[in-house]
A and B are shown apart, each in its own frame.
Chain A
Amino acid sequence: MKITEKIDVRFPRTLAEALRLQAGEQTRGKLLAGGTDLMVQWAAGVPAPERATSVWNLPELSAIEMAPDAIEIGAGVTHAFLRDCVQIRRHLPALVAAAATVGAAQIQSRGTLGGNAANASPAGDTAPALLVTGGSVVLASLSGRREVPLDRFWIDYRKIDARPDEIIVAFRLPPKGRAKERFRKIGTRRAQAISKVMAASRILVEKGRIVSAAIALGSVAPTPVRLAQVEAFLVGKKLSPKLIDEAEQLAQATVAPIADIRSSAEYRRWASGRLVRDALEHL
């Protein structure tokens, strides 16, 4: 018998049904969306749980709502959907670019935005793009809904601010407006490679001056991070080659990456600066 067959997977048809299962300790299961992280972990020997609760295709997790102040994207929306959705691309281009770099076509068909965020890998590609929107995560449980700002959602290595009875239902993401967004990922090869470092940015320049700046990096810390120091340094300044040099150096000085199988600390530090430069050179 294959390892995943030891798991009692339940397939609720509605969010309400799933929330009821998750509310009780005896019925609660590991949440299973597209399974592109979990099924691999279980195949690779991570102990399988007794129970799992499938949230794949729950209608309440599949919706997209476009309001002027925020685009609400269901946690169950796949990377393939984001990759192909022209309207979302217009307002959240960095997120769409990030989704298009997750694995390859087969993984994008199944991998969800909620799964990528909840998996909370520092190398999760959509996290920096979510972070620069300044948006929030919507969580549901039987006791109601709550919203957590994304910059407080990833609390530690593979730890998120969600209770065991909660399910992520959506992400509320303010559109970029007149700002420019960019996403760049550095991996071993272009496709199907986990990132060594990646960056997302949302920067507004008016009359040559930086009005607002949000820059986030992945794979340089236990969680995805905003570069608050670099952002504060940039705001109010005139864009110039000298400013870009200084921002690059500041970025290198503020990150404290580690070495692992994918990259060295030195390379990650250097690449962090280059990615900040790249964002500023493309405004």
Chain B
Amino acid sequence: MSTIRRTWKINGKTVAVRFPAGRRLLDVLREDLGLIGSKESCGEGECGACTVIVNDEPVVSCILPAGQLADGTEILTVEGIEKKRVGRLIQQAFIEVGAVQCGFCIPGMVVSSYALLCKNPKPSTKAIREGLAGNLCRCTGYTKIIAAVKLAASRIPAAKRT
């Protein structure tokens, strides 16, 4: 089986990786790079627990053949989002609102919320629901998660929205 090499920018750092040609991005992140914030739940693209951001678009890493990401691709995981201003606002809002129960879906929720707020810093409830439609939560019933995203959005200063 052929092994391939790629050099990506993960959470702002240049990282060189080697992996089997058919490996999933989620396995490269979790097993090869130790970035275990992204979770695997369904493994079939349905639940969003493994969501990461690739070149500014949210993707589910459990069905993404890693070799398709060319050299220079920018990947942002929940570990990198935690260090971003808007990422911290999201994290803080989830804690304050009490939007977390078992927590398994939360990394994916945070990543999708971040992708949403980068594109639309003042989303309506409908836009939040749509932005998080690819993320399933079996515990909370979503109400508090949506409230947390609203709270985070309300704290984004008008001039500094990334």
Q: Which residues of A contact B (CB under 8 A)?
A: 1-2, 4-11, 32, 35-36, 39-40, 43-44, 52, 54, 56-57, 80, 103-107, 109-110, 190-192
Report if B109 contacts A (CB, 8 A). Answer: no
Given the complex of chains A and B, what is the CA–CA distance between A1 and B19 in angstroms?
A: 12
Please determine whether A105 and B133 come into contact, CB atoms closer than 8 angstroms.
Answer: yes
B112 to chain A: closest residue by CB: A105
Please determine whether B68 and A54 come into contact, CB atoms closer than 8 angstroms.
Answer: yes
A7 touches which of B21, B43, B116 (Cβ 8 Å) = B21
CB neighbours of A105 from chain B (8 A): 57-58, 112, 115-116, 130-131, 133-134
Please determine whether A6 and B65 come into contact, CB atoms closer than 8 angstroms.
Answer: no
Least CB distance, B105 to chain A, in whole angstroms: 13
Least CB distance, A187 to chain B, in whole angstroms: 12
Please determine whether A36 and B45 come into contact, CB atoms closer than 8 angstroms.
Answer: yes
Given the complex of chains A and B, what is the CA–CA distance between A67 and B48 in angstroms?
A: 38
CB neighbours of A56 from chain B (8 A): 65, 68
B22 touches which of A8, A57, A107 (Cβ 8 Å) = A8
Sorted nearest first, the 7 A-B pairs with minimum C-beta distance are: A104-B134, A191-B133, A39-B63, A109-B57, A104-B133, A7-B22, A4-B22
Report if B67 contacts A (CB, 8 A). Answer: yes
Given the complex of chains A and B, what is the CA–CA distance between A52 and B22 in angstroms?
A: 9
B window 30-85: CB within 8 A of A: 43-46, 48, 51, 54, 57-60, 62-65, 67-68, 70
Given the complex of chains A and B, what is the CA–CA distance between A40 and B4 in angstroms?
A: 22
CB neighbours of A2 from chain B (8 A): 22-24, 27
Report if B2 contacts A (CB, 8 A). Answer: yes
Given contacts A5-B23, A52-B22, contact A109 B54 (CB under 8 A): yes
CB neighbours of B60 from chain A (8 A): 106-107, 110
Instruction: Give the interface SS of chain A, mostly helix, strand, loop or mixed.
Output: mixed
Please determine whether B1 and A191 come into contact, CB atoms closer than 8 angstroms.
Answer: no
Range class of the B interface residue count: 35 or more
CB neighbours of B133 from chain A (8 A): 104-105, 190-192
Please determine whether A11 and B45 come into contact, CB atoms closer than 8 angstroms.
Answer: no
Least CB distance, B10 to chain A, in whole angstroms: 17
Least CB distance, B2 to chain A, in whole angstroms: 6
Report if B103 contacts A (CB, 8 A). Answer: no
CB neighbours of A103 from chain B (8 A): 45, 134
A39 touches which of B21, B45, B58 (Cβ 8 Å) = B45
Report if B20 contacts A (CB, 8 A). Answer: yes
B window 78-102: CB within 8 A of A: none
Least CB distance, A30 to chain B, in whole angstroms: 11
A32 to chain B: closest residue by CB: B65
Given the complex of chains A and B, what is the CA–CA distance between A5 and B25 in angstroms?
A: 12
Given the complex of chains A and B, what is the CA–CA distance between A9 and B135 in angstroms?
A: 29
Please determine whether A57 and B130 come into contact, CB atoms closer than 8 angstroms.
Answer: no
B window 101-159: CB within 8 A of A: 112, 115-116, 129-131, 133-135
CB neighbours of A32 from chain B (8 A): 65, 68
Please determine whether A5 and B57 come into contact, CB atoms closer than 8 angstroms.
Answer: no
Given the complex of chains A and B, what is the CA–CA distance between A109 and B56 in angstroms?
A: 10
Least CB distance, B35 to chain A, in whole angstroms: 17
Given the complex of chains A and B, what is the CA–CA distance between A52 and B116 in angstroms?
A: 33
A5 touches which of B22, B59, B129, B131 (Cβ 8 Å) = B22
Please determine whether B22 and A106 come into contact, CB atoms closer than 8 angstroms.
Answer: no
